[in-house]
Structure 1
Amino acid sequence: MSVNYTAAVKTARMTATRDHFADGILEIGTAGMGTVLATFGLSVAGGSISTDTWTLAFDNNTVSASAAGVAAEARIKTSGAASDLTGLTVGTSGTDVVLDNTNIANGQDVTLTSAAIQHA
């Protein structure tokens, strides 16, 4: 039997998740996070919650790439650098993290279009 959460519980869980990661970082990497391509700082508040979805907010939506490669996944680290949320999908649409381009050259501008995580 599958577990079903009420909207109130989903909101509480996503709020706790956002608060855990607020003021942390989002790292964009190649497959398996073999190379970190770009790092975005999460805002102090971390973003907003709407029932079961956390929409992340960042200090800047455009950063300079720190390496070259094809963006394939992402992870979120706490302000204490703990990688507590991994395996986020990355692409140009229909993924957890949406970028303007996934083929990244070292030093190029990387623009984050959106990032949202939905309660399972």
Structure 2
Amino acid sequence: MAVTYNTAVKTARMTATRDYFANGTLEILTSADAVLATFGLDTDGGDISGAVWTLVFDAATVAASGSGTAAKAQIKTSGGSAHLTGLTVGTSAADIILDNTNIATGQDVTLSSATITHA
């Protein structure tokens, strides 16, 4: 049987997660783990509404640091440790929504939205 959390517990868990990663980074990666772009998380980390964490960034557009196809993402702490991995990336219906998943070095990469929902 699956474990079920009520909304108050989900909110508390997502708040703790947000606070843990606040002022960290979101890395956009290829399937081979090459970093394509890095977005700095806001010092507060974002907003929590119920079971959903909406990430807030220092800038919505950054210059790509690598070339390839965006396949996944990870969030690192302010100390540089990747403790939240396996995020989906796409132009729709993904955790991390980008304007384009085909990325070239130096290109502007724009993040449309980034949300993580409690399981």
How many residues get paired?
119
Cα-to-partner distance string for 1:88-107 (whole Å, 9 max, x where unaligned): 00000000000000000110
**Ranges in structure 2 where 5+ consecutive residues have no aligned partner:** none
Q: Which residue of 2 aligns with 1:76?
A: 75
Residues 72-116 of structure 1 show CA distances to partners (whole Å, capped at 9, x for unaligned) of 000000001110000000000000000000000110000000000
Contact 1:41 1:60 in 2 (8 A): yes
Distance in 1 of aligned mates of 2:84 and 2:14 = 13
1:2 positional shift: 1.0
Q: TM-score, normalised by structure 2?
A: 0.99
TM (normalized to structure 1)? 0.98
Change in CA separation of 1:17 and 1:11 when aligned onto 2, cut-off 3 Å? same
The CA distance in 1 between the partners of 2:102 and 2:32, in whole Å, is: 16
Aligned to 1:115: 114
Taking the aligned partners of 2:41 and 2:118, their CA distance within structure 1 comes to 19
Structure 1 residues without counterparts, runs of 5 or longer: none
Q: What secondary structure sits across from 2:10 in the alignment?
A: helix
The aligned counterpart of 2:102 is 103
- Code of the aligned partner of 1:17: T
